[in-house]
Amino acid sequence: MKTRVVRVDPVHPAPGALREAGEVLRGGGLVAFPTETVYGLGADALNPAAVRRIFAAKGRPGDNPLIIHVADRESLAGLVKEVPEAARALMDRFWPGPLTLVLPKAELVPDEVTAGLATVAVRMPNHRVALGLIAAAGVPVAAPSANRSGRPSPTTAAHVWEDLGGRVEFILDAGPTGVGVESTVVDLTGPRPVVLRPGGLALEDLRQVAGEVTVDPALLGREVDRPRSPGLKYTHYAPKAPLTLIEPGPGVAPQVVGEAAWRAVREVLAASPHKPVGLLFLRENLPRHREAASATATAFLLAELNQDAGAPPATVLALEAGPATDPAQVASRLFAALRWFDAAGVAAIVAEGISPEGLGFAVMNRLRKAAGAVVRV
Ligand code: AMP
Ligand code: MG
């Protein structure tokens, strides 16, 4: 299949491009589009055949339900059975935005979207291109992240092309997304809100409006037989190279994380001297890594996301994640960094973790899912 890629301005997208992409959706086709979180892969949510094509293009397991995206609250009427008061308050405060609500589903919603569940996940994205596309299509848009299943979510159109070029009709390219991690998913079908997936809306913000909010036990590292969000049971966000996560305990300083990361890097170098090793480091640790490298005569290359990947063997290929004090910045760079290390052909990745506060909760959730090994410090 030929994939058409059209660049649009993120703030003032050309109406012609949105109309064209909207027609593809109405005709049962697949359109990848930017949201404020990550790029989504959209299909007409009320067309079962179109929705099935999303699963085929992504290689997504059929029992992992999709989020339906709307451009206005009126469109919810046909999708959910009822909008409880708690949901209304959350929408008032956080829509459009990175918050997905799980509500009892209306008859109209095909089982393909919800994987047969009695509930449906809905969200209004905070991106002019996404909202314009949904409005132009005139239908609700089912859209998971626009990556092949198991790969890190795409934060640029180039990432989408890498995974889905030739598998979808249309890609709207509006440059890099802002938030960088997927939406926060909250189940509102019980007596109190339950976070099923941490994401672009911080738990602290959610609690300001929703009061007592619980967190699905699966997110706290406890093993559960049947996670309530089916997506949670799949490995996700995994780069091709094995990733070791350095996870700080409460109050542990970035420097301590950096020391453990450097030890892990040295171990990888000793085991695989014929490839570079990737280090995703916290800004606070750059001076100490440079010093440690020179003290041990280790080749150290400070790389940048927007440069071409690549380095000689036995080099520490270091990418800055952002400051430990700015989890939003770390979130926005995370998936791009994982893909960048893959392109560089590193033997392994060592990632310095942050405290699970604010967007740090989502960052650490994604890193844990990507990690083959976790070192707690
Ligand atoms: P993605 O769009 O790829 O970011 O994935 C959507 C996430 O929302 C997955 O983790 C799904 O399991 C979750 N999800 C979608 N619909 C529901 C639902 N009805 N109940 C619980 N979780 C859902
Ligand atoms: Mg996804």
Residue of 185, 224, 234 to mutate, ligand 1, most atoms within 8 A of C-beta? 185
Nearest CA to ligand 1 atom 19: 120
315 Cβ inside 6 Å of ligand 1: no
- Reported as a single tens digit per residue, the pLDDT across 144-181 is 999 999 999 999 999 999 999 999 999 999 999 999 99
Q: How confident is the model at residue 308 (pLDDT cuts 50, 70, 90)?
A: confident
In tens, the pLDDT along 222-239 reads 444 454 555 555 556 778
- The residue contributing the CA closest to ligand 1 atom 23 is 229
pLDDT of amino acid 219:
84
Q: Is the pLDDT of residue 2 over 60?
A: yes
Domains recognised in the chain with CATH numbers: 4-220 (3.90.870.10), 243-376 (3.40.50.11030)
Residue of the nearest CA to atom 14 in ligand 1? 65
β 299-302/349-352 pair status: unpaired
How far does residue 38's CA lie from ligand 1's centre (Å)? 14
Q: Dump pLDDT digits (tens) for 74-123.
A: 999 999 999 999 999 999 999 999 999 999 999 999 999 999 999 999 99
Average of pLDDT values for 121-138?
98
Query: Using CA atoms, how far apart are residues 50 and 46, in angstroms rounded to an integer?
Result: 8
Q: Kindly state if the Cβ of 230 falls inside 6 Å of ligand 1.
A: yes
Q: Ligand 1: does its nearest atom lie under 6 Å from the Cβ of 45?
A: no
Q: Which of 67, 149, 164, 234 to mutate to test the pocket of ligand 1 (most atoms within 8 A of CB)?
A: 67
Per-residue pLDDT tens digits for 195-208: 999 999 999 999 99
Q: What is the pLDDT of residues 323-377, one digit of tens each?
A: 999 999 999 999 999 999 999 999 999 999 999 999 999 999 999 999 999 999 9
Mean pLDDT calculated for residue range 43-72: 97
pLDDT of residue 223: 46
